[in-house]
Amino acid sequence: MKAWIPDPDRLLVMVDKPMPEPGVGEVLVQVEACGVCRTDLHLVEGDLPPRHPAISPGHQVVGRVVGGDGDVGQRVGVAWLRWTCGACRYCLDGKENLCLSSAYTGWDADGGYAEYLTVPAAYVYALPEGAPAEKLAPLLCAGIVGYRALLRADLPEGGRLGVYGFGASAHLTAQAAIAHGAVVHVVTRSSAARQLALELGAASAGDRPPEPLDAAILFAPVGDLVPVALAALDRGGTLAVAGIHLTDIPTLNYERHLFQERTLRSVTANTRADGRAYLDLSLGRPPHVSTTPYPFDRAASALRDLADGQVNGAAVLMLG
Ligand SMILES: [Zn+2]
Ligand SMILES: [Zn+2]
């Protein structure tokens, strides 16, 4: 089968790999579409150290089960969380996202920048027929992890939420918050992203929020924005950092950035319960999913465009 692997010069190169064989409890999935996530870029560029050489990235897979220990023919989604131990104190406490020996799609095992992949059957999400794969793929990481970030931001009912950066995950998360009654202020430099934010119902989109915020989510992987976003919180507010990788955070000033019981939190992956909850929510009331499709043989261009800030919404590799 055809698959993409990291390359130091060209980001990705296409290679031939043997068809993967599902192990016990695993399914073989034929890929229809795979969303391009900023984490893929962090993996390819080495911000996240590779766990195996020549692993194919990609963890927002829409596909179909074509073999293995599962429902052959079922349309499924494959997300970032690939496996957890089920026995450590985090797993037993409903926090499998913090599992001490968790494994991830496209990091510990081959992901969806390929024609096929294998994955434990207990970690796939059943998806409905009919909905276009291009619109479903971004829900699987951008949507799910953004949803967990929203939960971690502790936004009160009807509260004021700041959203810093407005890429794939932010545009889905903003819609989930607005649907729940939040007032959303988007901070981004991109004029196209500002326009999209206003079209999707944001109360403002500009250089800074026009009022103090109850909660904020930092989507841009830029540590310099942490003090800026903390300073814009109201008393008792919470800032959640959504990314898996962030550049260094500059020195914080206790008075300006943290006093008055402001809280700074990280977000680590998601549990399957988060994933199911978000998918049920968004399949029941589909958000607008802004996508840029790329044919499978242009995966390297998709990643390059993401690195250059040239993708509005979510880039999606299409295999069908
Ligand atoms: Zn565990
Ligand atoms: Zn991701």
| 104-160 pLDDT per residue, tens | 999 999 999 999 999 999 999 999 999 999 999 999 999 999 999 999 999 999 999
Can you read off the two tokens belonging to residue 110? 């081959």
Can you read off the two tokens belonging to residue 307? 């690195």
Ligand 2 centroid to 261 CA: how many Å? 31
Ligand 1 centroid to 162 CA: how many Å? 33
Residues 6+ apart with CB under 8 A from 108: 51, 52, 55, 82, 83
CA angle 66, 168, 130 (to 5 degrees): 40
pLDDT, tens only, 207-238: 999 999 999 999 999 999 999 999 999 999 99
Ligand 1 centroid to 219 CA: how many Å? 27
CA dihedral for 197, 192, 134, 27, sign (positive or negative): negative
Ligand 2 centroid to 125 CA: how many Å? 16
Ligand 2 centroid to 32 CA: how many Å? 17
Ligand 2 centroid to 142 CA: how many Å? 6
Ligand 1 centroid to 123 CA: how many Å? 14
Ligand 1 centroid to 232 CA: how many Å? 36
For the cut 90, the answer to whether the pLDDT of residue 320 exceeds it is: no
pLDDT of amino acid 243: 86
For the cut 90, the answer to whether the pLDDT of residue 309 exceeds it is: no
For the cut 80, the answer to whether the pLDDT of residue 177 exceeds it is: yes
Ligand 2 centroid to 209 CA: how many Å? 26
For the cut 90, the answer to whether the pLDDT of residue 268 exceeds it is: yes
Ligand nearest to the CA of 144: 2
For the cut 80, the answer to whether the pLDDT of residue 171 exceeds it is: yes
Q: Going by DSSP bridges, is the β-strand pair 11-16/2-7 parallel, antiparallel, or unpaired?
A: antiparallel
Tell me, yes or no, if the pTM score tops 0.85.
yes
Q: What is the mean pLDDT of residues 261-288?
A: 96
- How many other β-carbons are positioned within 10 Å of the β-carbon of residue 308? 8
pLDDT of amino acid 312: 77
Q: What is the mean pLDDT of residues 286-292?
A: 96
pLDDT of amino acid 244: 86
Ligand nearest to the CA of 95: 1
Distance CA 159, CA 181 (A): 8
Ligand 1 centroid to 97 CA: how many Å? 8
Ligand nearest to the CA of 93: 1
Q: What mean pLDDT is reported for the chain?
A: 96
pLDDT of amino acid 310: 87
The beta strands (E) that lie in the chain are given as 2-7, 11-16, 26-35, 61-68, 75-78, 81-83, 103-104, 116-120, 124-126, 160-164, 183-187, 204-206, 213-218, 233-241, 263-266, 291-295, 314-318
Ligand nearest to the CA of 111: 2
Q: What is the helix, strand, coil percentage profile of the chain, to 5?
A: 30, 30, 40
Please answer whether residues 180 and 311 qualify as being in contact, where contact means their C-beta atoms are separated by less than 8 angstroms: no
pLDDT of amino acid 33: 98
For the cut 90, the answer to whether the pLDDT of residue 103 exceeds it is: yes
pLDDT of amino acid 288: 97
